[in-house]
Amino acid sequence: MDDILDTLEATIRARKGADPASSYVAKLFGKGRAKIAQKVGEEATEVVIAAVSETPEALTGEAADLLFHLLVLLADAGLSLEDVRAELRRREGLSGLAEKAARLA
């Protein structure tokens, strides 16, 4: 069975060149990376709000929206879930504090 995020990522990539009049994904790509990034920021804010003041179902829905828009942003930047997985594997076993300090050094 395919992972739903992998399936979603493939769907997003397939719709990149679609007609913006018939595809929300194509419409996002057409607006450019700055607008896609702005949408990711909006969705992240909605996740925060849902986390502190709404139901678990609301948080789940907002988290799904955030993941969706993040996948669109990654695709626009030529990156994939596998790139993110590789970075997480690289960080595995590292102290979060040590990893952050290494990035800031």
Q: What CATH number does domain 4-79 carry, 2.40.50.140, 3.30.365.10, 3.40.50.300, 1.10.287.1080?
A: 1.10.287.1080
Burial classification of residue 37, based on how many CB atoms lie within 10 Å of its CB (0-12 exposed, 13-18 middle, 19 or more buried)? middle
Cα gap 36→76, rounded to integer Å: 8
**pLDDT digit string (tens) for the chain, length 105 residues:** 469 999 999 999 999 989 999 999 999 999 999 999 999 999 999 999 999 998 999 999 999 999 999 999 999 999 999 999 999 999 888 777 776 777 777
Radius of gyration, CA atoms only, the chain = 16
What DSSP state is assigned to residue 21? T
Q: Give the predicted TM-score (pTM) of the model.
A: 0.86
